[in-house]
Structure 1
Amino acid sequence: MSLVLTVVFFGLLVLSVPVAHTLMIASGAALWSDGALPLLVVVQQMFAQTQSFPLLALPFFILAGELMMTGRLGQGLIGFASATVGHYRGGLASTTVVGSVVFGGVSGSAVSDASALGSVLIPWQKREGYPAGFAAANNAAAATIAILIPPSIPMILYALVSNVSVGALFLAGVLPGLMLAAGFLLVCNLSARLRGFPVTHSRIARGELGRLALAAMPAIAMPILILACLRFGVATPTEVSVMAVLYALAVAWLIYRDMTVGRFLSALVNAGRATGVVMLVIMASAAVGWIMTFVQAPQAFATWATATLQEPWLILLAMNGIMIVAGMFIDLPAAILLLGPIFVPLAQSIGLDLVQLGVIMVLNLAIGLYTPPVGTTLFISTTIARVPILRASIELLPYYAVGFTVLMLFSFVPVLTIRY
């Protein structure tokens, strides 16, 4: 059964069949080849996975991001990011990084971040004399900060398969997100100095900077409020996600006064589409996960790894390698839902904290988002910049260095993973 599942899955991936459909077809083929179990099991497992109260946080966080990233607030965030770092060497590129940190605290999605910031900042950087390949690479890498800064959609998915607290994962994601941002800012500054990128902005007056900071404050405060509510037990993650939607509506309606019926309906439609895509992958992954559990694949893999590699650091290194390769070919939600059930028992067998594993997994798959051949943020950024993927990939080399450095630190220095 597991052999049929593997062959059909990778065969359909090679044929470029969408991941969700690949998972459903592969699970159906595996059950059909066995003959002992009815195909109805696939439908049952797909439906059962949706009956999760914590999973309700997913559509509400996506909707909150849609409501806050459009309109005057989104423009204010970009203005604040530009005012903060725009006068430094590589300031326009640094604006993308700072913008990703702030936008990440609103959207929780690297794809949304890459699209929203890239559509504004990449053409701007090109007009000011930045190489198109560098602008695309910078946007593709910086956008992945969004899946570490809370609220993080991938962290919610990992919590679903690992039974780890969403609040603990959100808190643990802050430090690696900020470390990636610091490393990317260093890349922007050094690249600008070594390659002579133009300095296009003078230092902004303190009064104007304060005004822009005040305008961006509602968005900056959102992740802080989310963490505070979860840390002090004010509400569950699902309740916090609903509060985030109400907060976004209040900010747009009462502070910025730019909420219209049309914009609200558009946000609902976009959030519904995004949720539908993710939920289809979640449902399809549930069927595959059930089959892997039925044939005891996670336990067999854990037994093999501990017997063959023996040393915990070697096992952890192998897990990182598998996650990196998976992230290069499989969409992030599917990779988490497929690898989570396999790596959780393995992590427990070597004494690896499951919160730390969540951070490691998201960091690995974040790197995959800007790595060919399937890197989603890389594809979005190169499309906006109108530049070949190969040229942007070459520009990404220093960003890979930063990403792998942060990954190794959080893999082998457990104290860096913040817990509560």
Structure 2
Amino acid sequence: MTLVMLIAFFALLALSMPVGYALVISAGSAILWQGTIPLVLVVVKLFQPSQSFPLLAIPFFILSGSLMMSGKLGEHLVQFAARMVGRFHGGMGQVSVVGSTIFGGVSGSAVAEASALGAMLIPWQKREGYPPAFAAAVTASSSVIAGLLPPSIPLILFSTVSNVSIAALFTAAILPGLMLAGGMMLACYFSGRLRNFPRLSEPAVRQKLGYVLLHAMPALLMPIFIIVLLRAGIATPTEVSVIAVAYALVVSATIYRDLTFASIYAALINTVITTGIVMLVITASSLVGHVLVTERIPTLIATWATEVLGAPWLIMMMMTMIMLTVGMFLDLPAAVLLLGPIFVAIGTTIGIDLVQLGLVVCINLSIGLFTPPVGTTLFIGAAIAKVSIGSVIKELWPFYLVSFTVLLLMMYVPALTIY
């Protein structure tokens, strides 16, 4: 049954069918091919995941991010980042990284971040004399920071398949996210210095810095606000997501004063579309999971890994290679939901902390977002910069080096993730 499902799934992907539909059709076909499971079970398995209360956090976090990113917030964040790092070597590239780090604490989605920030920063960098391919590479790679920093959608999904506390995942992800941001800023600095990229000539005047900091503060406080509410036990993740929407509405209406019925409507439409895509993958992954569990695939893989590989570091390396390969072809939410249950079974068997495993999974699969042949943020950056994918890939090697360094540290230095 599993073999039939895999053959059908990859055949449908080769025909360019969207991942969610390919998962439903391949898993449903496998169940029907076996013939011993009632067809009504397919419908039940598709319906059950949508009834999960914690998953309500996803549309509300998407809505709060859409509300805050659709107005003046982006402009103030870019101004703040430019004042902070624009005067250094590779400064405008560093502005993209700082902006991505802050936006990651608002949107929780790498794709949304690449689209919103890329549309602002890539043309700006091109006008200032930066190579278009480099501008696209910075946007494509730094946008994946959103996959780690709260309110990360991938971490919420991993929590649903592993029963790990969302608050614990959010808290543990802060340090890796900041390490990734710091490493990418260093990559921009050395690239700018070696290649003599232009710098912003205007110094960071203290009064102006204070002004832009004041206007960017609502966005800077949002991830802190989320973590405090979760870690203090004041609210559940779902309740925090609703509070985040209220926070975004109040900030947009009273501080930035750019909240309109048109912007609310656009944010709601974006939320419905994005949530629909994510929920289709979630429900389809439940069906796939049923097929795998029925044939005890996670247990068999875990047993094989412990008996053949033995050492936990070798097993972790095997999982990493699988995730890097899958991440190059599947979008991040789908990959988390497909691989999460299998790797949770393996991690539990060999004694890996599931919080650490969750971060390793998200970093691994995030790298796939800017890796060919199906790198989503890679394609977004190249499209906005109007350059070829090949030219962007040539500019990405420093950012791959940083990402793999952080990944290895997360894998083999547990104290960095479970502190």
Deviates more, 1:73-82 or 1:319-328: 73-82
- Shift in Å, 1:13: 1.4
- TM alignment of 1:33-112, pairs within 5 A: 33-112=33-112
- TM alignment of 1:119-134, pairs within 5 A: 119-134=119-134
The corresponding residue for 2:345 is: 345
- TM alignment of 1:258-273, pairs within 5 A: 258-273=258-273
What amino acid maps onto 2:380 in structure 1?
A: I
The corresponding residue for 1:359 is: 359
- Shift in Å, 1:201: 3.0
- Distance, in Å, in 2 between the alignment partners of 1:135 and 1:323 is 27
Q: Does 1:153 align with 2:153?
A: yes
- Shift in Å, 1:200: 2.8
- TM alignment of 1:142-221, pairs within 5 A: 142-221=142-221
What amino acid maps onto 1:139 in structure 2?
A: T
The corresponding residue for 1:395 is: 395
The corresponding residue for 2:253 is: 253
Deviates more, 1:304-313 or 1:237-246: 304-313
Structure 2 SS opposite 1:329: coil
- Shift in Å, 1:74: 1.6
CA RMSD of aligned residues (A): 0.8
Structure 2 SS opposite 1:42: helix
Q: Does 1:12 align with 2:12?
A: yes
Q: Does 1:118 align with 2:121?
A: no
- Distance, in Å, in 2 between the alignment partners of 1:81 and 1:147 is 20
- Distance, in Å, in 1 between the alignment partners of 2:301 and 2:201 is 55
- Conserved? CA contact 1:171–1:418, under 8 Å: no
1:73-109 Cα deviation digits (max 9, x unpaired): 1211111111111111111111000000111110000
Question: What stretches of structure 1 of length at least 5 have no aligned partner?
Answer: none
1:32-64 Cα deviation digits (max 9, x unpaired): 111111222221111001111100000000000
What amino acid maps onto 1:153 in structure 2?
A: I
- Distance, in Å, in 1 between the alignment partners of 2:257 and 2:280 is 35
What amino acid maps onto 1:287 in structure 2?
A: L
- Shift in Å, 1:383: 0.2
- Distance, in Å, in 2 between the alignment partners of 1:318 and 1:151 is 29
The corresponding residue for 2:319 is: 319
What amino acid maps onto 2:139 in structure 1?
A: N
What amino acid maps onto 2:167 in structure 1?
A: G
Deviates more, 1:197-206 or 1:341-350: 197-206
- Shift in Å, 1:26: 0.6
Structure 1 SS opposite 2:72: helix
Count of aligned residue pairs for this structure pair:
419
Task: Give the alignment's TM-score, normalised by structure 2.
Answer: 0.99
The corresponding residue for 1:280 is: 280
The corresponding residue for 1:24 is: 24
- Distance, in Å, in 1 between the alignment partners of 2:401 and 2:393 is 13
What amino acid maps onto 2:310 in structure 1?
A: Q
- Distance, in Å, in 1 between the alignment partners of 2:133 and 2:42 is 44
What amino acid maps onto 1:55 in structure 2?
A: L
- Distance, in Å, in 2 between the alignment partners of 1:402 and 1:216 is 27
- Conserved? CA contact 1:105–1:146, under 8 Å: yes
- Shift in Å, 1:418: 3.6
Taking every aligned residue pair, what percent have the same amino acid on both sides? 56
- Shift in Å, 1:184: 0.4
- Distance, in Å, in 2 between the alignment partners of 1:415 and 1:52 is 32
1:173-227 Cα deviation digits (max 9, x unpaired): 1111100111100110100111111113321210100110010000100000100
1:124-149 Cα deviation digits (max 9, x unpaired): 11111111111111110010011111
- Shift in Å, 1:339: 0.3
Structure 2 SS opposite 1:262: helix
1:222-258 Cα deviation digits (max 9, x unpaired): 0001000000100000000000000000001111111
The corresponding residue for 2:229 is: 229
What amino acid maps onto 2:72 in structure 1?
A: R
- Distance, in Å, in 2 between the alignment partners of 1:161 and 1:74 is 33
- Distance, in Å, in 2 between the alignment partners of 1:290 and 1:196 is 55
- Distance, in Å, in 1 between the alignment partners of 2:369 and 2:285 is 19
Task: Detail structure 1 runs of 4+ shifted over 4 Å in the superposition.
Answer: none
